[in-house]
Amino acid sequence: MDQILITLTFLLVLFLLLKVITLETRLKGMKYTLEKLAEHSNVEDPINNYLRDLIKEGNDVLAVKRARDHLGLSLIEAKNYIENLKEQV
């Protein structure tokens, strides 16, 4: 009985792991498509003006924090995002 329960639990965990991997792959593909659409639409996220103002005031750390909060970026992604905005200022 214990062996069956362990086996079922293992199979359930394996199934869920595969689902998560599949969803992450789909999400990555959607993100790529969305980025390409944004490049061609010339629509800019309104947060960028606020972030540029923070950069001009010398508040780079706060700009990174706001980028992370608003855009859902990791720390490194947000830092790179702010660096790219800095180059445009």
Q: Amino acid identity, residue 34?
A: L
pLDDT tens digit sequence for 4-63: 999 999 999 999 999 999 999 999 999 888 888 877 887 777 899 999 999 999 999 999
Structure tokens at 50: 């606020």
Structure tokens at 33: 């498509």
* Separation CA 33–CA 24 (nearest Å): 14
Domain boundaries defined on the chain: 1-43, 44-89
Packing angle, helices 47-56 and 75-88, rounded to 10: 80
Specify the pTM: 0.57
Packing angle, helices 60-71 and 75-88, rounded to 10: 120
